Every structure is written in C-alpha cells, then in structure tokens.
Amino acid sequence: MRLAIAKAEEGVRHGQTPFGACIVRRGRVVAVSHNRVWKNTDITAHAEICAIRQACQKLKTIDLSGCILYSTCEPCPMCFSACHWANISRIVYGAHIADAKRFGFHELTVSNAAMKTMGGSRVRIRKDFLRQACLGLFSLWADRPGHKTY
C-alpha cells in the first residue's frame, strides 16, 4: 500500500488526481500506477485499470489469479469489475468511495462489498488499510492550485 500511496503522491505532483494502485503476486510487486485520466485524456485510466494493464502486459496474461490489488481508494464499479474479470484474488483499499465523493468526484456509490454480493464475485476484500494515509492524499491534492475532478 505504501507504494500505491507514493505513486498517488507522484501523480498529484504531475497534475493527476489522488489515486494510486499496486499489484503484488507471490510477494513481488508486478505493477504500480497512479491515476492518468487527465494525462491520457482517458476517463477509464484509473489507477487500478492502469495497474491491471501493466500487470497483464508484464505477466503476458489476462489472468491475474493469485494477485493482490492495493488501492488507495475503494475501487469504483468499473475498477471492481476489471478486478473480477482479471481474477484478482484480493482487493485491499484505504479510503472509501464516499470519501472521493466528498472531495467532489463524480462517484457511483456502489461499494465493493455490494458489487461482490450482487455479482457473486469470489474476490476477497479488506477495507480501511492505512486509511488515514490514504485520506491524506485527498488533502494533498485539494491543496494544489488548479486541481480538478471528473
């Protein structure tokens, strides 16, 4: 999670939004990314999606079974779905979707727990991991002049 936090901080310094993700398999880091929505002019370039793309390319597979995704914020429904389709085994997150919404992001407030139940996903979920540090990313971002949401 600390790598995801550091990557999110890097993204904020480069004008991106305060989200980071890290994918680990068998104790080894496979991919780390921050949100690239503004940089890529791509609304789907969330940190989790970028990390999944990197991991699939690095591992030369779309099956990320056995991988853990660490995300500074609870994955949105799009990102949760991508985790499900990639067979990511576990999601660990810090801040909540509701926290992002409070900072002005246009979030669909469907929790990962609800998505898991509704979709019958087997992914394991751990919330509130390093929550305060992850929440701090929103303040870091909000203090930057010209910060923008989507």
Residues acting as catalytic residues: 48
**Alpha-carbon dihedral 131, 27, 112, 140, rounded to 10 degrees:** 30
- Helix and strand numbers (H, E) in the chain are 7, 5
What are 31's two structure tokens? 């991919």
8 Å CB contact between 78 and 47: no
> From CA 126, how far away is CA 94, in angstroms rounded?
9
- Strand bridging mode 67-73 / 28-34: unpaired
Tell me the residue type at 121: S
What are 65's two structure tokens? 């079974």
Coil, helix or strand at residue 148 = coil
